[in-house]
């Protein structure tokens, strides 16, 4: 478990580096909302469309990697990494579904008390996503790191991964995760579905049409995202 946590932290640091390149718009002024510093006014619509396409692309790629399972969980985790829980639409939808019955039973006073628990706008605008705070922690997160270092000086062991330099992508051994690390010959080159699954007994006409429709929708979404991200393909490995 310690090795898994260490690899996870290293991977998140690498992800944070690449995400910062996208946020700053390095090497892609035509996609950046301020033309990589050349413009003085932000094009918020361009910025919103680009990152919505990017988050959708990441969600579906991870879904395909994990053999087209756990789509809702992946969508929520992508939202947590890049949006924070406050702006995580997938998590908000799940919580609204879970608390829907409870909200309907609330009176006005109870509803106001629940809404008052949300953080103030001044706090919200300074929130940082886990992807950014990995490299650029907030003052509060930085103080927590200093506290952990002081504990280490007092003899309390701390995680050694915080004291290591960022491991480069090439030096991290690639384990088999989902379909990553598996021989390409085991999968169909166009759908990335396992060959065994395609050679299995043919499904009913209704199931076959649903599967075909779903695959077409996924392919259309990925193609749209690739068009939006085409100039930055070299940044995404």
| φ/ψ of residue 127, rounded to 5 | -70, 150
Give the pLDDT of residue 59: 94
Instruction: Report helix, strand or coil for 187.
Output: strand
The pLDDT tens digits for 28-50 are: 888 889 988 888 888 889 899 98
Give the pLDDT of residue 2: 86
Domain boundaries, the chain: 1-42, 205-231
The answer to whether the CB of 131 falls within 8 A of the CB of 14 is: no
Give the pLDDT of residue 61: 93
Write down the mean pLDDT value for the chain. 75
Give the pLDDT of residue 78: 93
Supply the DSSP symbol for 68.
Answer: T
The pLDDT tens digits for 107-148 are: 666 666 665 566 677 777 778 888 888 888 877 776 766 656
Q: Cα–chain-centroid distance for residue 98?
A: 23
Instruction: Report helix, strand or coil for 17.
Output: helix
**Which residue positions in the chain have pLDDT lower than 50?**
156, 158-164, 201, 232-237
Alpha-carbon distance of 194 to 188, in angstroms, equals 6
The answer to whether the CB of 13 falls within 8 A of the CB of 166 is: yes
Alpha-carbon distance of 31 to 22, in angstroms, equals 9
Give the pLDDT of residue 236: 43
Spatial CB neighbours of 149, under 8 Å, sequence gap ≥ 6: 158
The closest alpha carbon to 178, from 192, 158, 160, belongs to: 192
Alpha-carbon distance of 3 to 56, in angstroms, equals 30
Give the pLDDT of residue 70: 92
The closest alpha carbon to 227, from 45, 76, 30, 33, belongs to: 30
């Amino acid at each position: 478990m310690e090795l898994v946590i260490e690899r996870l932290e290293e991977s998140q640091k690498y992800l944070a580096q690449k995400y910062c390149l996208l946020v700053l718009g390095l090497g892609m002024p035509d996609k950046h909302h301020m033309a990589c510093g050349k413009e003085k006014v932000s094009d918020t619509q361009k910025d919103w469309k680009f990152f919505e396409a990017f988050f959708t692309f990441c969600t579906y790629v991870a879904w395909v990697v994990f053999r087209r399972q756990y789509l809702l969980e992946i969508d929520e985790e992508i939202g947590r990494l890049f949006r924070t829980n406050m702006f995580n639409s997938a998590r908000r939808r799940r919580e609204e579904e879970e608390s829907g019955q409870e909200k309907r039973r609330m009176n006005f006073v109870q509803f106001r008390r629940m809404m008052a628990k949300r953080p103030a706008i001044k706090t919200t605008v300074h929130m940082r996503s886990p992807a950014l705070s990995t490299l650029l922690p907030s003052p509060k997160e930085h103080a927590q790191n200093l506290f952990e270092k002081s504990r280490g000086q007092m003899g309390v062991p701390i995680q050694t991964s915080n004291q290591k330099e960022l491991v480069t992508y090439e030096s991290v051994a690639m384990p088999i995760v989902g379909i990553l690390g598996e021989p390409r010959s085991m999968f169909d080159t166009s759908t990335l579905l396992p060959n065994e699954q395609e050679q299995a007994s043919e499904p009913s006409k209704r199931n076959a049409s649903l599967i075909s429709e779903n695959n077409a929708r996924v392919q259309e979404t990925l193609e749209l995202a690739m068009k939006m991200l085409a100039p930055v393909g070299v940044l995404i490995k």
